[in-house]
Structure 1
């Protein structure tokens, strides 16, 4: 009888160990499949990141190129200015506006003084209109201005303004 109980006990232990090994092997196979799926997902995400990076660089380059040529890109501006008797360049109009911070209808804050501090943010739109960004180092805004040439001098008029907080 002892011999029969010992055999049953061994069979139970062997069966239990076999079940545990089968579960372990299945878990390892499942883990390997999950690892492969994660690797594929990571590769897909890296590809998407690469595409987005390339697209961002392309848009940034295009914006930079457009921004750098915008103020003088329209030959009609120069022609319109010549018709008014102005012999200078579009850049001369930008330079003149920089000398007129009194056109900005807002006071500076925290001791700042409003002004047109960046030539690249002044856009001569036509032979009559300019859009310009201004700031005091703390807050800023934009102005839409009209201008006329009168005896070689530029006369400015604020059409609209907006302060950004």
Structure 2
């Protein structure tokens, strides 16, 4: 009798182990499918990042008022760079505030980064072309150092 009990105990132990092995195999299969899906996602994101159309800057339509200006974007950028008094941040330690980067972001706005070598700020300016081809700027928003 003891021998039969030992035999059935060993047999049920094997069944439990088989169940554990089956559950682990299912978990491994599930994780393998998830890893495969993640690899496909990474590959598609890398392909998207490498595509040319994402690296092209947006084209800004400047409207009829700019029709007589050969390069409206450069005209706007240079006009802002000449108006340093628009910088809403005072220079420190004897520096001189200057516009370092100016980017036309729409037919109405430019983003400008300025500094004096010590402190830096960013502003969005609204612009409007005047009849004499001068450009008027109005500060819309600024991020200044704390």
TM-score range, shorter chain: 0.5 to 0.7
Higher helix share: 1
Unaligned runs of 5+ in 1: 1-10
Q: Structure 1 67/130 Cα, relative in aligned 2: closer, same or farther at 3 Å?
A: farther
Residues 123, 130 of structure 1: 8 Å contact kept: yes
Structure exhibiting the larger radius of gyration computed from Cα positions? 1
Pick aligned residue for 1:130 from 85, 96, 109: 109
TM-score scaled by structure 1?
A: 0.58
Partner of 1:3: none
TM normalised by structure 2 equals 0.64
In structure 2, list runs of 5 or more residues that go unmatched: none
Is the Cα contact below 8 Å between 2:81 and 2:99 reproduced in 1?
yes
Q: Deviations over 1:22-71 (max 9, x none)?
A: 23312321222122212222122123313432454466467x8356331x
Structure-1 residue corresponding to 2:77: 94
RMSD of aligned alpha carbons: 4.0
Aligned: 1:104 with 2:87: yes
Deviation at residue 125 of structure 1 after TM alignment? 1.7
How far residue 161 of structure 1 moved from its aligned partner, in angstroms, is: 0.7
2:19: which partner in 1? 30
**Do 1:116 and 1:133's aligned partners in 2 also have CA atoms closer than 8 Å?**
yes
| Contact 1:98–1:115 (Cα < 8 Å) also in 2 | yes
